[in-house]
Amino acid sequence: MTTDSNSTSESVTFGPVVTPSVRVRLAAADRQTQLTKPAGSLGRLEALSAWVAACQGECPPHVFARPRVVVFAGDHGIARHGVSAYPAEVTAQMVANITAGGAAVNALAATCGAGVRVVDISVDAHTDPTVSQYKIRRSSGAIDREDALTHDETVRAIDAGRAIADAEVDEGADLLIAGEMGIGNTTPATVLIAALTDTEPVAAVGRGTGVDDAGWSRKTAAIRDALRRVRPHANAPVALLRTAGGADLAAMAGFLAQAAVRRTPVIVDGVVVTAAAMVAEQLAPGARDWWVAGHRSTEPAHSVALRQLQLDPILDLGMRLGEGSGALAAFPVLQGAVATLANMATFADAGVSTGDDATAADATATD
């Protein structure tokens, strides 16, 4: 345990995470009281707009101009052992589909004006060089019986995610979404969440892509066995990812941590991305202040992880696709929240009377 913790601190370090501006958040809350609406009448949109203002460091905030989705693709050895309703070959096929613009993530992103990029981190197949620049290996190990990665592979995957975040921010992204594509990836995600929250497998295991009862039983057994291997490493994020994560999850963790370091807000997607987010919070404490949860997945482990991170999802639509689809579905809500704070007139600007104005006028007439 001590060795894992020391090697983590020596091999993976992130810059400091600065908290989104409290001063600007308070200014946003004050501006909300001046807009032409009853106080609090926009409900949670008001809190979301204040969060964005705090992240941007300015009030009023600006609507997002360059949202970007990065889909991290990777295979998992555990998928060969009956934990998914689909064969592992689908991962590579879906990478090609996303590249061609035919997936749900592409359709949803198009409605939001968001760019989509897919990266092959550990697909168990040859993929086009345009998506495989950061490839670590072909498939991660079957975590119920072996480590997902070597230590060196884990560090390289985290660094790949960091580099991808830097590239997106350097190219002008002002909002990031991490998506994922990988048959069997809800199994390692559930293991990570269960290990970090001390949750029993039967309380955390979901149906993933839609496995039947026999598949659910196999998945539960695999998660139970992987938990036995990983629980000693719960406080050592690199060892955690090495033992029971995978290259795609490690890259997502690096991506989410670095986004926070670069002061760039993120909409977190479903159970797999949120599992990576839990590890990212270990790698870069305070990173979660830069994230908002897009939706609540039907996977039981997702609610467990959201509670641990203290993230309240924007939507709850019964989604479980992944790819960043839930985060993209929530994006128009977040964009709308920003638009109301940025573009609505104040009472003074519009010449609209407030209750306080009427009270003051009555008092003057009485005098």
pLDDT-above-90 percentage for the chain: 83
> Which of the four pLDDT bands, split at 50, 70 and 90, describes residue 210?
confident
Instruction: Give me the phi and psi of 92, to 5 degrees please.
Output: -65, -40
Residue 9: the pLDDT is 41
pLDDT at 52 over 50: yes
Half-sphere exposure of 294 (CA within 13 A, CB side): 32
Tokens of 263: 């002061």
Better-predicted residue by pLDDT, 83 or 148: 148
Nearest CA to 63 out of 294, 335, 330 is that of 335
Q: Within a 13 Å sphere around the CA of 101, how many CA atoms are in the beta-carbon half?
A: 4
Q: Is the pLDDT of residue 358 over 60?
A: no
Question: Which residue shows structure tokens 């002002």?
Answer: 174
pLDDT for position 119 = 98
Q: How confident is the model at residue 5 (pLDDT cuts 50, 70, 90)?
A: very low
- Residue 202's pLDDT band, with cuts at 50, 70 and 90, is confident
What is this structure's pTM? Answer: 0.92
Average pLDDT over residues 320-324: 95
| 49-53, 219-223, 358-362 — most confident range | 49-53
Banded pLDDT at 363 (limits 50, 70, 90)? very low
* Residue-averaged pLDDT of the chain: 92
* 204-238 core/surface letters (b: 16 or more CB in 10 A; e: else): bbbbbbebeeebbebbbbbbbbbbebbbebbebbb
Which H/E stretch holds residue 150? Answer: none
Average pLDDT over residues 233-245: 95
pLDDT at position 120 = 98
Taking the C-alpha atoms of residue 218 and residue 195, their distance in angstroms, rounded to an integer, is 19
What mean pLDDT comes out for the span 228-254?
A: 95
For 102-144, the pLDDT digits (tens) are 999 999 999 999 999 999 999 999 999 999 999 999 999 999 9
| Distance set, CA 314 to CA 60, 68, 132, 323 (Å) | 21, 19, 33, 17
| 159 C-beta neighbours (distance < 10 Å), count | 18
CA-closest candidate to residue 256, choices 162, 342, 328: 162
Quick check: 10 pLDDT over 50? no
Question: How deeply is 315 buried, as exposed, middle or buried, from its count of CB atoms within 10 A (0-12, 13-18, 19+)?
Answer: middle
If you average pLDDT over residues 168-183, what whole number do you get? Answer: 98
Which two tokens mark 30? 């004050």
Contact 289, 17 (CB under 8 A): yes
* pLDDT at res. 86: 83
Active site residue 168: no
Query: In the chain, where does DSSP find H-type helix?
Result: 2-11, 22-34, 44-56, 90-100, 104-112, 151-170, 186-197, 201-204, 213-230, 237-244, 247-261, 271-283, 300-309, 325-343, 347-350, 355-366
Low-confidence winner among 65-79, 105-119, 221-235, 308-322 (lowest mean pLDDT): 221-235
List the structure tokens of 304.
């467990």
pLDDT band at 360 (very low <50, low <70, confident <90, very high): very low
CATH class of 2-17+64-331: alpha beta
Confidence of residue 207 (pLDDT cuts 50, 70, 90): confident
> What pLDDT score was predicted for residue 42?
97
Quick one: pLDDT at residue 116?
A: 98
Among 80-89, 151-160, 281-290, whose mean pLDDT is lowest? 80-89
> Could you tell me the CA-to-CA distances from 353 to 27, 32, 342, 361 in Å, in that order?
22, 16, 20, 10
> What's the mean pLDDT in 264-276?
98
DSSP element (H, E) containing 290: none
Please give the angle made by the CA atoms of 274, 4 and 275, to the nearest 5 degrees.
5
